[in-house]
Every structure is written in C-alpha cells, then in structure tokens.
Structure 1
Amino acid sequence: MQGVSKVYPDGTVGVQELDLTFAAGELTVLVGPSGCGKTTTMKMINRIIEPSTGRILLGEDDVTRVDPNLLRRRIGYVIQNVGLFPHQDVRANVGTVPRLLGWDKKRTRERVDELLAVVGLDPATFGRRYPHQLSGGQRQRAGVARALAADPTVLLMDEPFSAVDPVVRERLQTEFLRIQDTVRKTIVFVTHDIEEAVRLGDRIAVMSEGGKVEQFASPAELLGRPASPFVADFVGSDRGLKRLAVTGIDAADLEHPPVVRVDDDLAAARAAMQGAGARWAVVLGPDDELHGWISQERAEGSGTVGAAGKRMEAWVPHDATLKTAFAQMLQLEAGWVAVLDGSRFLGVLTPESLHAALRRSVEGTAPETAGAALTTVG
C-alpha cells in the first residue's frame, strides 16, 4: 500500500496516508480501537471500498486499475459472521469461487474435499450439511475453506473469530495457525483484540483514530518497545506477560542440573548431587530420554535410581513458548520445567532462567523500574 488514504465526501478522514508492505506468506494483523480504520484499510485491498489516493500493488499489479470482480476472485475473504449461503450445503459453499472461475466438476470436488480435510471437517460427514446444521466453530472453518478454495494470492479476514465463545475461539485460533503453517498464505487479519493479534500475527500494525498507523512491528518488538504512549497503553501494562506468548525457548535459556541414569545405584546419585552442590538430579534412560527426577532425601540408602526416583510431570517440548513453560510451573507448582526434544532431555527452565530469557528477548529496552522517574510536587 503506497500513500493509500480514504477521505469521505463530508471531509471525514477514514484512513490517513498508509505505506505498508505485507510480506508474502506472512500473517499481518491490523489492530486498534473501534473506528480507527482497520476494516476500511482491509476493504480497500479488494476494493469493496475505493481508496481516495494511493496505489495498492498485488505483486506488480495495481489493483486500483483492474476489474474489481476479477480482483476479488484472486483474494479470499472471511468475515465475522462467515457469510455462508444458507440455501447451499457446505460442499457447494466451498466450491463457489472455483465454479465462478469455470473449474470442471471433478477438479472442484477434489479441491473442496482437500480443503474440508485441511480445516478439520470430514467431507463425508459435513459436505452435505447446511450451515444451520453446523456449530459456530464449524461454520467458521467452512468459511475459511471457501476463502481458500481457488488458492487465492491474498486472504483477508475481518474479525473472523469474534462471534464465538472464548473456548471455541481459542480452538479456532490454534486450528488456523495449523492451517497457515500448511498453506502459508499472505493474510491481512483485522481484530480489536491485542491478545489475538499477538498470538496470530507475524507482524502487527497498531492503528489509532483517523486511520493512522502508530507502529508496524513484530509482536515481540511491539510488546518490548512500544513506539508511542498510545501503543504502550493499547498493548497494556501487562505487556511483559504477553511477551511470554511470543518468546520461544532457546538452548541458551536452559540450565543443566546433575544427571543420573535410571540403572545407577543410589550411592552414585548421592555423589552426583553432592559434587554439583544440588539437592536433586534428573533421571535419564540410556538414550537420554527423560524418566523423572530424584532428590537427596529419596537417594538415601541402597537400591537403584529407577526404584527411588519420581515421575517428571512438569515438561514442555523445545518448540514451546515461555508462556507454556510458565503455565506448567504454575499449574503443577513446580520449581522447574524440563525441556524435551521428543523424549530426549535438553535441560530445564527455572523461574530465574525464564526471567533472564524474557529480558534477553527485549535486549536494549529501557527497564521499567518503579520509582525510576519521580516528579517533585509542591
């Protein structure tokens, strides 16, 4: 989008001059309060709303100079209330754009079946159902399948999950991330919910009243370095906690407690812990698979580590976020969480190492210390 704006006949500015680039294969979120122009911005991309100024390039094509009906067949569109045709079954709904493009029946049916499977709707079960026979979440999935049917270059999504309850919404977000990992579409996603933006977006544009972009950045940068007081206020004072959800676990974040083997005798376990000055050790199998842990107290006497050790309940996969690890600590009241690659033990996260990892994720950000800036009154 190059210098794109929308000014209405009465002089109201819906969107100021926008210069934004949406990277291929990425999900870009437009987020902001009601009336800030995010939906107007999105609708200008497929010319449901005509821009007043500027150019919108889809690849090398200026979409402001092409037939809008042909343009919309190249751009998928998912709206809040799905918009499925009530008189058509799911299969017919999903096949709408391929039919308009003149695909033959065999190709259309194969594409519909493929996409229904991708979005988690069994074609044999759901293909002949009508929209009123689906749950809200199932209708939303069918809407996503319809938007993807003709393999569009760009997918526009206008608050697609806001009409369902929070539990279903979280499931749909998870499912959509799985789908996006498979199809890697260029997506423009509108929401007013910063939590949703942070969870889904590769990049986020925070918009304020009058269609002004206050900041365009990755979730981690947005939360770690708000560009203006407006952005800081919008993302919330708990943005440090929100950063946990967008910060992955790095090998450098892990601590390495003493390790004993499941077949070791307890004397060897006591020696390993005493040598490391630790009160507990991780118990591993022959291929470094995690078996559990053992404390100094449980290592007293004779016998094997396998018989005296305890099962490890608190663990996360290595590709989890710090938020997942922190949640495990809280839920299981654990002092540390094991990190695994499959079943292979890599190390542990403690509250201290988790905090250090979070600080590294925003290295260079000025610390927000209570009392750092005091104003003398009177």
Structure 2
Amino acid sequence: MIRFEHVTKSYPDGTTAVDDLTFEVAEGELVTLVGPSGCGKTTTMKMVNRLIEPTSGRILLDGEDISGLDPVQLRRRIGYVIQQVGLFPHKTVLDNTATVPHLLGRPRREARARAAELLDLVGLDPSAYGDRYPEQLSGGQRQRVGVARALAADPPVLLMDEPFGAVDPVVREHLQNEFLRLQSTLRKTVLFVTHDIEEAVRLGDRIAVYGAGRIEQFDTPATVLGAPATPYTAEFVGADRGLKRLSVTPVEPGDLEQPPVVRLDDPADRAAGRLSADGASWAVVLDADGALHGWVPAAALTGAPAAPADGTGPGLRKRAPQGATVRDHARRMDARLPLGAPLRQALSTMLQHDAGWVAVQDGDHFLGVLTPARLHTALRRATTADAANVARDEVSLDTVPGPGVPAPGPAG
C-alpha cells in the first residue's frame, strides 16, 4: 500500500533528515516508526501526505507515485491524527467529525450521520457528546474525536503522529486498547510515529527502529525484542527487552500444564481417590457443561488435617460428610484468561489474584493451566525461536527441573 524507494530528505543547511529510505507497508498493516527525537520518523510520515517533499526517491501509494498527485486531493485520501488533535474550537464535536465528509461534497445531513457513527465507534455517545465543544472534553476524549475525524472519509491510509502522547499513562493505555480494537475491525494501513518503544511494541504489526535518519531494523515486535539486528537497536529497546517481550508473546496450547480435572457433581470420595492415584494435591473443577468453576484441594475431599489460619499447630481434622460431592468443597478461581492472551496479561493476572497458576480457556472450554515456570519457558522458547528464525514449537530447551504445579490461593 505504501512504498518508499530510496527516499532522501536533505535541507539547504546540509542536514539530512532521512537518508536513502526503502521499506514497504502492506495493506491493512500497522507499522510503528520509533526512535529518539530528531531521527527522521515524523519527516518520513509527513512525506506520505506531502506536507514535506522528498529531495530524491519515490513514494508510492497503492502503486501510484504521489509526486504526480494534487497534494490537496492526496490529503483527503489520507487520515491524519496528531498529538495536539487540532480540533476547531468553534465547532461542536459532531461538526468537527463531519468536516472532511462535508469537504468531499457529502450533504450535511449525510456527513453528520457518518460522524455520529464514528463517534459511537470510538466510544463517545453522539447523543451525549455530539453537541459539546472541544473545550468541554477531557484530553482523552479529544483524542478520540481526532481519531473519529481522521476516519470520517473512510481513508485507506492513516498517519498518526504521537497521537496519545499528551495524555496521562492510564488514559493512554485505554486509548491504545481502543485503537487496537478499531484496527482489528477496520484494518486500515497505518503509519504510527512514537518515541515510546513499549507503545511501538504493543501496537505495531511491524516496527521500524530509527537511528539517525535511517532504519536500523524493520521487523515484527517479537523479533526486534528477541533478536536485535544491531547494537544500536539492542540499546534502544533496552536491557529489559525480555520483559517487554511479555507483551508480544501469546499463550499457546503447548505452554500449558494438564492438572487433574474433576466435575462439580462427582462424589467427593471418588474424586479424592482419583487425586490420590495421581499423587496430586489439588484438581481443577469443571461444571456439568465443561466450563471452569474453580479448584479443589485434595485435603478437603479426604478429610486430611486442615492448615490453621495462623500457620501454627497441627490443625483440625475436617472430614467430608457421607454423600458429599466436589461441589461442597470446590473453591472459585477467577485467575483465568483466553488462549492467545499475551504472557504479560498472564503474569499480571497471577499477581492480581496472588495465584500460583492461571486457567486458560478457548471460549468457555478449559484447556489447561499456565504456571510461572511454564510462562518462563514460553518466553525463553519464543526468544530462541525468533533468534533462530524457526517456529516456536520447533524449539526445545534444556531446563533445570523445578517443582510441580503449585496450588492456587493466598500462598501461591
């Protein structure tokens, strides 16, 4: 969709902002341009809509050399979102959003209807926010309007220059989540400029890491983090790039442990016998439909001594009553996440619930559990796979044997 061919931008004072740049952005792909201030990433983006003209080389948009296009007409085909948003202060939110469709000749009613649809799409109820003015919105809300306005003409390409840089970290993360949701539906071709490597990793299908006026590495977030191509890239992404990889490494079926499984309505003594035969201290509990309910400790099923609350003394023996079922002893487990969720979410869920494992599901179907040891192995395997340019399931690791799956609960 967007192709740079040996593009250079130099200024009369001898400064070269971009030097011999060649790369391509596929249709529907989100590419983040990341690097320090003054490295040429914003210049690169502005050359796409001819706010800056290249000194040499060609830029192609959908196979067409943009140097032969009328700049105004070109810009109407490209959505543009900047950090300062640039909303018209004298126009309502609805009229701000309808600006581009109206400029393209759509009737006012049609343009406003389209604007209302887009406001709703970015999470702003047009009946509540449409008649407000920009000064009556928070910074995050203004950024949402800016995104809606950029989408109003349904452009195939979006250029975004630090669009979420002027809001606080909590709002910024929320906006990133919303934009990822939008992109998964709309599949626009996006160039996204940022100086924040974590934002670049989180949002980009691929990342272009800029040095001084040139791209040091152009690859997927996982590869940039796992196998930096140059010392500059390794230094820029940081010594903690292994932790950053948690955001781009998904939970896969091969990462999961398979603990014993019992059903809510199983007799307690039968379930206890199964756990005893397996040498297990606990089991996952599913309901009659196979959906995850929680877990049950073997001690609760067998009437073994219960650990005292203060950690002292032998504890009291609590025997399961005759005819009891697993339901009578099962405990809820809210530490769960979907298959394909990033390892970062898995770790966060473990910490949030102070749990020794998280349950992984495909819809409502229970697949297994992810433990801290398995999470670490998954991260190592992904890093090794990217460095060797092989599939993750083709990697085997030498690991130090560790303890089995820990039980969930306050003690982890």
Return the TM-score normalized by structure 2. 0.87
Matches within 5 A, 1:357-376: 357-364=378-385, 365=387
Matches within 5 A, 1:31-46: 31-46=34-49
Given candidates 235, 238, 251, the residue that maps to 2:237 is 235
2:41 is aligned with 1:20? no
The answer as to whether partners of 2:95 and 2:112 remain within 8 angstroms in 1 is no
The answer as to whether partners of 1:259 and 1:272 remain within 8 angstroms in 2 is no
Q: For residue 80 of structure 2, give the secondary structure of its aligned residue in structure 1.
A: strand
The answer as to whether partners of 2:78 and 2:156 remain within 8 angstroms in 1 is yes
For residues 353 and 268 of structure 1, the distance between their equivalents in structure 2, rounded to whole angstroms, comes to 30
Cα distance, 1:333 vs structure 2: 2.0
- In the alignment, residue 258 of structure 1 is paired with which amino acid? P
2:8 match: 5
1:308 match: 329
Given candidates 362, 366, 374, the residue that maps to 1:353 is 374
Give CA-to-partner distance per residue, 1:336-359, whole Å, 9 cap, x none. 110122332111001121112112
2:276 match: 274
- In the alignment, residue 7 of structure 1 is paired with which amino acid? S
For residues 331 and 90 of structure 1, the distance between their equivalents in structure 2, rounded to whole angstroms, comes to 38
For residues 54 and 318 of structure 1, the distance between their equivalents in structure 2, rounded to whole angstroms, comes to 45
1:369 match: none
Given candidates 91, 96, 116, the residue that maps to 2:119 is 116
- In the alignment, residue 358 of structure 1 is paired with which amino acid? L
Q: Which moved more, 1:21-30 or 1:333-342?
A: 333-342
Matches within 5 A, 1:131-280: 131-209=134-212, 211-280=213-282
- In the alignment, residue 363 of structure 2 is paired with which amino acid? G
Q: For residue 163 of structure 1, give the secondary structure of its aligned residue in structure 2.
A: coil
Given candidates 299, 316, 338, the residue that maps to 1:317 is 338
Matches within 5 A, 1:21-100: 21-100=24-103
Q: For residue 248 of structure 2, give the secondary structure of its aligned residue in structure 1.
A: coil
- In the alignment, residue 327 of structure 1 is paired with which amino acid? S
Cα distance, 1:28 vs structure 2: 0.5
Structure 1 segments of 4+ aligned residues over 4 angstroms from their partners: none
2:295 match: 293
- In the alignment, residue 78 of structure 1 is paired with which amino acid? V
Q: Which moved more, 1:172-181 or 1:357-366?
A: 357-366
Cα distance, 1:108 vs structure 2: 0.9
Cα distance, 1:248 vs structure 2: 1.1
Cα distance, 1:280 vs structure 2: 0.9
The answer as to whether partners of 1:5 and 1:15 remain within 8 angstroms in 2 is yes
For residues 133 and 109 of structure 2, the distance between their equivalents in structure 1, rounded to whole angstroms, comes to 21
The answer as to whether partners of 1:40 and 1:49 remain within 8 angstroms in 2 is yes
Pairwise CA RMSD: 1.2
For residues 192 and 272 of structure 1, the distance between their equivalents in structure 2, rounded to whole angstroms, comes to 55
For residues 295 and 260 of structure 1, the distance between their equivalents in structure 2, rounded to whole angstroms, comes to 11
The answer as to whether partners of 2:10 and 2:18 remain within 8 angstroms in 1 is yes
- Residue identity (%): 61
Give CA-to-partner distance per residue, 1:239-295, whole Å, 9 cap, x none. 111111111111111111001111112222222212222211111112211111111
Give CA-to-partner distance per residue, 1:73-102, whole Å, 9 cap, x none. 001100001000111111111111111111
1:127 match: 130
For residues 58 and 275 of structure 2, the distance between their equivalents in structure 1, rounded to whole angstroms, comes to 66
Q: For residue 124 of structure 1, give the secondary structure of its aligned residue in structure 2.
A: helix
The answer as to whether partners of 1:257 and 1:282 remain within 8 angstroms in 2 is yes
Q: For residue 384 of structure 2, give the secondary structure of its aligned residue in structure 1.
A: coil
Q: For residue 8 of structure 2, give the secondary structure of its aligned residue in structure 1.
A: strand
Q: For residue 127 of structure 2, give the secondary structure of its aligned residue in structure 1.
A: helix
Return the TM-score normalized by structure 1. 0.94
Q: For residue 362 of structure 1, give the secondary structure of its aligned residue in structure 2.
A: helix
Q: For residue 37 of structure 2, give the secondary structure of its aligned residue in structure 1.
A: coil
- In the alignment, residue 247 of structure 2 is paired with which amino acid? A
Cα distance, 1:107 vs structure 2: 2.2
The answer as to whether partners of 1:90 and 1:131 remain within 8 angstroms in 2 is yes
Aligned residues: 365
- In the alignment, residue 121 of structure 2 is paired with which amino acid? V
For residues 149 and 295 of structure 2, the distance between their equivalents in structure 1, rounded to whole angstroms, comes to 50
The answer as to whether partners of 1:28 and 1:201 remain within 8 angstroms in 2 is yes
For residues 347 and 183 of structure 1, the distance between their equivalents in structure 2, rounded to whole angstroms, comes to 33
